[in-house]
Amino acid sequence: MSLSLNSQSDPATHKATQSTVTCVYQTHIGGYWRNVTVLWSKNMMNHSLSISVDSVESDSSQTHHTCKIDLKPWHFWTKKGYKTFEVDGNQLDAYWDLRSAKFSGSPEPCSDFYVALVSEEEVVLLLGDYKKKAYKRTKARPALVDGVLFYKKEHVFGKKCFSTRAKFDHRKRENEIVVESSTMGPRDPEMWISIDGIVLIHIKNLQWKFRGNQTVLVNKQPVQVFWDVHAWLFCAPGSSNGLFIFKPGAPDTDDDKEECSSKDGGSDCSSESRYYSTLSHSKASHFCLFLYAWKIE
């Protein structure tokens, strides 16, 4: 499966802005490690969840197989259900219960839910905190090896403030990430990046420092932060997004830093950036978070 990190379409062309959260996991299904892509999507009219599983068969006409679930707010019954689909001859069962799910401004729930993917009587992927309920309903055993979150990318819309969640250490709770900016008015533009309520990065004179990177400590562990907000300052509102990348771990080498710092930004208003080259880094064992922040007026 090829899942590009580029912004495929301009939100200004949509009838309504659509917030999305894409999480890519590596799971063991049918004797192979496969990518499982979970896409949460929400706009003014609909709320949906899609689960796509990679095919490993070279002669398959499909590179991945998808199970889509519409979570329409006026249909309470669709918030709990079960679907079956096949990948390379392997039956997969998707179970979900989102009736009590709590949300914090994102299309992805933050608590009181489960989504389970079952293969050969094993729960190969389990999302949410209602784990006991999921195992009871699926009547399946835990997988020998848990699915691993590969990377997460989120598109958010706002005027000054953008927030998301990520778990930089799988042994600890999720971290709350907030990006705030002041780009209008007589004062020089500024930007603040906070994690768990603590401002870790404060950029003044943003018009000169709209691209950069810095390593911060979160729970005493290093996290690399990269940003490119050229579009916020020099492009038409809604025509492109600011991009933030959060990658646990210290920088590997000076060469890696230079590759990720986007010195020669290219076409700055086209949603393209050398920051996307960090996709290659996300293929390592470390998790990466990609936050696409769309400013709307």
Which pLDDT belongs to residue 255?
53
Say how far apart CA 203 and CA 118 lie, in whole Å.
Answer: 46
End-to-end CA distance of the chain: 35
Two structure tokens written together for 59: 């002669």
Q: pLDDT 10s digit of each residue in the chain, 297 long?
A: 222 233 334 444 444 578 999 999 999 998 899 999 999 999 888 889 999 999 887 665 667 788 888 876 656 557 899 999 999 889 999 999 999 999 988 999 999 999 999 999 999 999 999 999 999 999 999 999 888 999 999 999 999 999 999 999 878 889 999 999 988 767 889 999 999 999 999 999 999 999 999 999 999 999 999 999 999 999 887 788 999 999 999 887 655 545 444 444 444 565 443 333 333 333 444 799 999 999 987
pTM over 0.85: no
Place of tokens 């949603």: 271
∠ Cα 81 82 86 (to 5°): 155
